[in-house]
Structure 1
Amino acid sequence: MNKLDLLQMSLQNLRRRKARTFLTILGVVIGTASIIIMLSLSSAMEQNFKEQIARMGSLTVIDVYSGAGGEMPGHARPGELKLNDETIAEFSSLPGVKAVMGLQYSFMRVVAGKMVGDIQVIGVEPEKLADFDYEIETGRLLLPSDKDTLVFGKNLAYDFRNPRLSNEYMTGYMGHDNNSKPPVELINNKLLLTADMQYGERRPSLPDPNNKTPRPHEVRGVGILKESGDEKDYQALINIAVLRKIKAEDSKAIDRENRTKRNELDKQYDNIKIKVASMEEVRDIQKHIQTLGYQASSLSDMLESMKKTSRTMQAILGGIGAISLLVAAIGIANTMVMSIYERTREIGIIKVLGADMADIRRMFLLEAALIGLGGGILGIIFSYGVSWILNNIAGKYMANMAESTQISIIEPQLALGALIFATLIGLVSGYAPAHRAMKLSALEAIRSE
């Protein structure tokens, strides 16, 4: 028999037993759909993890601090490590490093008329902001020539309050939403920046007679950053050279005894950010920096942890789906065995007519493969339908009717793999019955009723 004859006979045999064929294929459909849907849930989970972490910051940025909490052989103690210009030069020379920026932190008060806000001011190098994904929403970013300008995080305007009111905190961030108007306008407005955290208070505490009160510095806001969903939304950026100058002036008024030590510290960085060219190089560069004795961290650490969780869930969910397909495989084997019993006389006649033994085996294997293939195709179609319902109905409900959340993601390779797997399951399940049909005695088969 040629291949076309085998295919025609296999299809004819399946059509003759429509109910049994339908029920067997239905089992494969359920098994295939179970695997696809279960694995699509874990794929969506991993994708959502990546998106959540990406909203927290760039996955190619490494944060470096001055100590790892232990001694490294052949290196200085962590307490003696310094983050300075020499450190930046060392990191910049590493292969795969795209940009390096030193940051300095200071907690200060910004005054806008009667409103005050206690915020974290970050000294940065303006020319490197674009390399570290700082994006502006209103106004502009800092320029290297700026002397008295600030760029504010998206939500900082809501952190201002009027200290002269009894319900001062109600004028600030308490209870605000995305549509509420902030209590102050920070762009193109005359502002004061001071280290005096009592400035503007209704009842300021008594000043220290041994120290002078640091004077306020006139500044202006030039931009608002795009919302990032992380700490950037609650920070203000300033040229690091300007911040160091302000801190040097303030150190003359406060903590006179440790002025020299403070000036030395002001020349160092509190944090160094490293921009890596690609995600694949982040882990290697991070490990190298840690061997030097520095503390280095990145969002890749969190992503790796989430990936492990996702893989565990994938194995569990895939196992549940595989059980359904195993049940379908038993159903295919049962169908093929029953088909042999019902077609014993037919098999005997085919053998007597001179059909090749291998053709009989191929016919039964083809029938089993067609059941697996058909069930796989229908299972994929059904899976895409369930995925659409999960994403567009359940996902939108879970997102409080805002925008759809991806609950299920069926990747093309997942659908193709499931189809191949379902077909192979059919072949494997039909092998033993097909082999049995081939070995059946022609004489006994013809005598069989």
Structure 2
Amino acid sequence: MKLNDQFRFVQQNMKKNKTRVTMTILATAMGCAFLIVLASVGFGLHKSIVEEVTRDRLVTEIEVHGRLDEKESYQALTDKDVQYLEGIKHVKTVTRKQSLQQDGVYKIGEYEAFAQTIITHIPSEIKAGFELSEGRLPKGSNEIMVGYDFIKSLRPANVSSEDLYEEEGQLKEQYTFKNSIVNQEIEMTVKQYVEGKEKTKTIPLTIVGIGKKPTREWMEDRTVFISQEVLKEIEKFTGTPRGMVLDPNIEEQHRIEFDENSYDQVKVYASNLESVKGISEELKKNHYPSYSVVNELDNINKMFLIVKSGLVFVGTIAIIIASIGIYNTMTMAVTERAPDIGIMKAIGASPKTIKKIFLLESSYIGLIGAIIGTAVSYGISKLVNVTLPFIINRAFGEQTPEDLVFSYIPINLPIICIIICYFVTVASGYRPAQRATKVDVLKAMRREV
């Protein structure tokens, strides 16, 4: 009996019992939809958390915290360490930053701002993906870049703090700096105590560039980037490394010794994601403690693998329950088609062919149900993502994060569901199919089974 004839025979028999077959397919479709939608919650939350973790950081970025010496003590990284890091295979670039050890005071006309001041290596920052939203990169020693939100730090110096801010802590609109700060002359003031008296030094600078806006709405970048030449000028005035202030009011102030070529923050950027793990292992082997977002993602992926596996397992139970309907349908089919089975046996059909026909029918029902369930699950998933934030807002009065995905269906999830459904339905139809092969020809012809 040819495969086409077997398919035709199955379809004809299914048409004879449309209601029962339809209900069985519906039960299977519901089981599949339940599995996919349930598991999609795990996939959706996983996707949201991964995007949250990686949104403001490059996945190829590795933070190097320092170098461990023979006594397992952390040592600051120097130019020698940077050269070693740049020489590691698949390293794209190494950024390094030094921090001024006092808050810089910056003035533009009547406006002033307090900001963290950083000295960085511009070429490596550019290779790592640093971008400007406005202006250009510094060329001269007295040219600087500022963070995207530095302008928000500027406030009138002659107005008291009580009058400057709203109740929410925001600067009042009338006191905000209205002009562009690009190409503006700005004065940087640093201080030091000499013989118990505070002395200050003013350094004229020019803002030539503004950094790119941070990727997250709640983040602000008010950093000021100065040159190495300006840092040396500050150190010459303060007489301390990195412009550290020696406060006479503190009796035993700890004076930190900085190596001229040491760095406060060093980051390694891999040429591609696949290289991050290898570089991290190389750093660990050579006593450079490090951290990358890939380490965090590994832990997240392991946790959600367990969660998603559990959800798929629970969803599979729904398909197994639906398979009881398939078992019942196929058992009834064997009983009702006893004369047909007898005729097939009488004309020479082998038990293998008869079993194949009934297994084909059960798998046919399962696959149709799985396809319908998959289509329905996509609709439910979209509905959940649209309506659930609204329901949570109405019921609990809380606003869900804009980027939170409650349900996400990757292409492999329906494939997993269809495979599970296929094997479960074939298994549920196996016993009735085996029973069909044992039907006695003479009894079948008399419609007795």
User: 1:435 and 1:180 mapped to 2: Cα distance?
Assistant: 86
CA contact (8 A) 2:31 2:322 kept: yes
RMSD: 3.3
TM-score (norm 1): 0.84
Structure 2 CA distance for partners of 1:88 and 1:402, relative to 1, 3 Å: closer
Q: After superposition, what is the alpha-carbon deviation per residue over 1:189-220, rounded to whole angstroms, capped at 9, x for unaligned?
A: 222223349xxxxxxxxx66435523122222
Matched AA of 2:109: G
Equivalent runs, 1:74-85 vs 2, <5 Å: 75-79=69-73, 81-85=75-79
Q: Which residue of 2 aligns with 1:269?
A: 263
User: 1:89 and 1:418 mapped to 2: Cα distance?
Assistant: 52
Task: Answer yes or no: is 1:165 the counterpart of 2:151.
Answer: no
Structure 2 CA distance for partners of 1:345 and 1:229, relative to 1, 3 Å: same
Equivalent runs, 1:213-224 vs 2, <5 Å: 213-224=199-210
User: 2:239 and 2:16 mapped to 1: Cα distance?
Assistant: 95
Task: Answer yes or no: is 1:434 the counterpart of 2:433.
Answer: yes
Moved more, 56-65 or 347-356: 347-356
Equivalent of residue 88 in structure 1, options 78, 82, 86:
82
Q: After superposition, what is the alpha-carbon deviation per residue over 1:122-155, rounded to whole angstroms, capped at 9, x for unaligned?
A: 2111112222221211222x33x33123322223
Structure 2 CA distance for partners of 1:308 and 1:233, relative to 1, 3 Å: farther
Q: Which residue of 1 aligns with 2:16?
A: 16
Task: Answer yes or no: is 1:3 the counterpart of 2:3.
Answer: yes
CA contact (8 A) 1:58 1:133 kept: no
Matched AA of 2:66: S
User: 2:19 and 2:232 mapped to 1: Cα distance?
Assistant: 83
Q: How far off is 1:225 after superposition? A: 1.8
User: 1:256 and 1:323 mapped to 2: Cα distance?
Assistant: 70
Q: After superposition, what is the alpha-carbon deviation per residue over 1:274-316, rounded to whole angstroms, capped at 9, x for unaligned?
A: 1111122212322332343333112222222222232222122
User: 1:240 and 1:14 mapped to 2: Cα distance?
Assistant: 82
Matched AA of 1:324: A
Query: Partner of 1:110: helix, strand, or coil?
Result: strand
User: 1:12 and 1:245 mapped to 2: Cα distance?
Assistant: 93
Task: Answer yes or no: is 1:374 the counterpart of 2:368.
Answer: yes
CA contact (8 A) 2:67 2:77 kept: no
Structure 2 CA distance for partners of 1:392 and 1:278, relative to 1, 3 Å: same
Equivalent runs, 1:324-403 vs 2, <5 Å: 324-394=318-388
Unaligned runs of 5+ residues in structure 1 are 69-74, 198-206
Equivalent runs, 1:54-133 vs 2, <5 Å: 54-66=54-66, 75-79=69-73, 81-106=75-100, 107-133=103-129
Query: Partner of 2:200: helix, strand, or coil?
Result: coil
Moved more, 279-288 or 392-401: 392-401
Between the two proteins, the alignment pairs up a number of residues equal to 429
Q: How far off is 1:364 after superposition? A: 0.5
Q: Which residue of 1 aligns with 2:29?
A: 29
Q: Which residue of 2 aligns with 1:46?
A: 46
CA contact (8 A) 1:396 1:402 kept: no
Q: Which residue of 2 aligns with 1:300?
A: 294
Equivalent runs, 1:412-431 vs 2, <5 Å: 412-431=411-430
Structure 2 CA distance for partners of 1:235 and 1:229, relative to 1, 3 Å: farther
Q: How far off is 1:397 after superposition? A: 8.0
User: 2:433 and 2:284 mapped to 1: Cα distance?
Assistant: 61
Structure 2 CA distance for partners of 1:160 and 1:301, relative to 1, 3 Å: farther
User: 2:170 and 2:415 mapped to 1: Cα distance?
Assistant: 50
Q: Which residue of 2 aligns with 1:146?
A: 140
Q: After superposition, what is the alpha-carbon deviation per residue over 1:225-270, rounded to whole angstroms, capped at 9, x for unaligned?
A: 2222466724222334433443343336954999xx8685343111
User: 2:265 and 2:168 mapped to 1: Cα distance?
Assistant: 28
User: 2:197 and 2:290 mapped to 1: Cα distance?
Assistant: 38
Unaligned runs of 5+ residues in structure 2 are 394-398
Equivalent of residue 214 in structure 2, options 210, 218, 228:
228
Q: How far off is 1:165 after superposition? A: 1.1
CA contact (8 A) 1:161 1:172 kept: no
